[in-house]
Amino acid sequence: MSFQRLAVTTKRLELDALIHCLSEATKNGESEGIGAVASFLGLVRERNLGHRVMKLEYEAYEPLAMHAFERITSEVVERWPATQLALHHRIGVLAIGEASVAIVTASPHRADAFAACRYAIERVKQIAPIWKREFFEGGDVWIEGATADPDDATAREDAYRRTCV
Amino acid sequence: MSFQRLAVTTKRLELDALIHCLSEATKNGESEGIGAVASFLGLVRERNLGHRVMKLEYEAYEPLAMHAFERITSEVVERWPATQLALHHRIGVLAIGEASVAIVTASPHRADAFAACRYAIERVKQIAPIWKREFFEGGDVWIEGATADPDDATAREDAYRRTCV
Amino acid sequence: MRVNIRVFARLRDIVGAAELDRDIPTGATVRQLWDELVVEFPDASAYAGSLSAAVNTEYAKMETMLHDGDEVAFLPPVSGGQLLL
Amino acid sequence: MRVNIRVFARLRDIVGAAELDRDIPTGATVRQLWDELVVEFPDASAYAGSLSAAVNTEYAKMETMLHDGDEVAFLPPVSGGQLLL
């Protein structure tokens, strides 16, 4: 495979490249084949909580982030065995409209592809050691959410609940 | 806009083009901005109901399909007002792994983007006047599903239920 | 009056053409046109319970009254309506 | 024994560096190391209730016992954990 399924990168995210990496991987005919590809892009929004955002800076603890992505992949495969996942997160300074995270899931059927994709983004938000700093007119602030705990069963169930399975 | 949001086409579907067409449309700053882009690709699977598929042929009643897509767009905007939709369906002969339908939704927040995308594909499957003929070893068959009735409230509610809103 | 009939997929195979023109009495409905078609192509009767129709590229009820020059489409169940996920 | 400490985001701003090395007693835990850090950088105490930790690039409990040469990361709440959809 010429393209990594999981990555933390300073480069612009390319959804097509992620999709390609999944579809290539199953051309060996071992399964039903891929019938559904769901994907998600998180973009830098120009407004947050009522104020205008100029840019965002993302910072990651990269090796732990990669381990978190591997964990998310395992969780997805455990729940949706025929489903594949690719997940790239961008770091560095991002302009409005740029993608910070790209997730692609591929599955024989669409219910699984959608569910796995939604689950993956929820889990990224919960446990990926990635922080963002928001730059606005006159200042900047680190956005802090919830404590990252990959073993928190409640968080995991919450992510699962959002998939509507 | 150089690219149509809704289309029935014989050309290869390009997800990036659909995404681009949505993100361009909101650069006027009238909204919160797009924070989430969800998308769906339906691919031709190599296996269906246990037998090997060689190729599929899609046929559409094109003007009615475009009207159905416009109706789906209206339904999406009615339920998720800040959400935009782009939807292309391919027709003609498709090889295994090729995309027959591409749907992209863009919204300030991911719950709406995912829900609208899922809703849209369910509605396409329910009401788009598009038929597929499956070619397998030794023959071919038109795949027929359910009667298309855009006013069927039960079908619409079923599509909505699958979005998990 | 004269209407243009469009048929698709397996229904097109049954009819043997994608479109055909037929003369019908003034005030005829979509259903009456369909009934005529079934007389002409008996195999089409398989779709009696699962048919959709459109008049002038909008979905229409079987009770819709037709007018001269209308384009009437008869649609077999659509491919995606399968209950499979 | 000596460990390497990694800090991120606002916690890095508080500490004034992305990493630092510190000597700790044999058998010290992640929590003891954190407590030492808070003595040195009192503003870090704001994270007492919301901290995550990792040892050698895997998430770890505060009770984890440290070894010479360990890389210990202290992580403020992650950005995506917001309850906003």
Mean pLDDT, residues C78-85 = 56
Q: Do residues A154 and A110 touch, judged by C-beta distance below 8 A? A: no
H or E segment to which residue D30 belongs: helix D30-40
The residue count of chain B comes to 165
Q: Do residues A113 and A36 touch, judged by C-beta distance below 8 A? A: yes
Closest-CA distance of chain D to residue B110, Å: 7
Question: What is the per-residue pLDDT for C82?
Answer: 46
Closest-CA distance of chain B to residue D82, Å: 12
Q: What is the pLDDT of residues A45-90, one digit of tens each?
A: 888 777 888 999 999 999 999 999 999 999 999 999 999 999 999 9
Hey, what's the torsion of the CAs at A70, A74, A75, A79, to 10 degrees? Answer: 150
Closest-CA distance of chain A to residue B13, Å: 11
Confidence band of B20 (pLDDT split at 50, 70, 90): confident
Confidence band of B146 (pLDDT split at 50, 70, 90): confident
For D60, the token pair is: 């770890």
Residue A94, Ramachandran bin (φ over 0: left; ψ between -120 and 50: alpha; else beta): beta
Q: Is A109 in Cβ contact with C84 (below 8 Å)?
A: yes
Q: What is the pLDDT of residues A119-162, one digit of tens each?
A: 999 999 999 999 999 999 889 999 988 899 999 999 999 999 99
Closest-CA distance of chain D to residue B61, Å: 39
Looking at the predicted complex, does its ipTM rise above 0.90?
yes
Q: Which of C15, C50, C64, C79 to mutate to test the interface with B (most CBs of B within 10 A)?
A: C79
Q: Which of A64, A128, A149 has its CB closest to that of D80?
A: A128
Question: What is the per-residue pLDDT for D82?
Answer: 46
The residue count of chain D comes to 85
Closest-CA distance of chain B to residue A149, Å: 22
Domain ranges within chain C, ordered by starting residue: 2-75
- The 8-class DSSP code of residue A159 comes to H
Instruction: Verify A-B touch: 3 or more CB pairs within 8 A.
Output: yes
Neighbours of A92 (CB within 10 A): 14
Query: Residue C19 pLDDT more than 70?
Result: yes
Round to whole Å and give the CA distance between A82 and B151.
Answer: 35
Round to whole Å and give the CA distance between A114 and A117.
Answer: 5
For chains B and D, what is the number of CB pairs under 8 angstroms? 4
Confidence band of C32 (pLDDT split at 50, 70, 90): very high
Q: Which residues of C touch A109 (CB under 8 A)?
A: 84-85
Round to whole Å and give the CA distance between B148 and B63.
Answer: 15
> Which residue in B has a C-alpha nearest to residue A48's C-alpha?
B32
Q: Is C85 in Cβ contact with A111 (below 8 Å)?
A: yes
Confidence band of C66 (pLDDT split at 50, 70, 90): very high
Round to whole Å and give the CA distance between A8 and A15.
Answer: 14
> Which residue in A has a C-alpha nearest to residue C84's C-alpha?
A109
For C76, the token pair is: 């077999």
Q: Which of C6, C54, C78 has its CB closest to that of B145?
A: C78
Against chain A, the chains showing at least 3 CB pairs within 8 Å are B, C, D
Round to whole Å and give the CA distance between D33 and D72.
Answer: 9
Q: Would you identify the CATH topology of the domain B6-163?
A: Aldehyde Oxidoreductase; domain 3 (3.90.1170)
Amino acid present at A32:
E
Question: What is the per-residue pLDDT for D84?
Answer: 41
Residues of A with CB under 8 A from a CB of C: 109-111
Q: Is B47 in Cβ contact with A114 (below 8 Å)?
A: no
Strands B99-107, B51-60: pairing is unpaired
Query: Residue D64 pLDDT more than 50?
Result: yes
In percent, how much of chain A has pLDDT > 90? 76
Residues 6+ positions from A22 with CB-CB distance below 8 Å: A5, A34, A37, A84, A85, A86, A104, A105, A106
> Which residue in C has a C-alpha nearest to residue A108's C-alpha?
C85
Range C2-75 has CATH code 3.10.20.30: yes
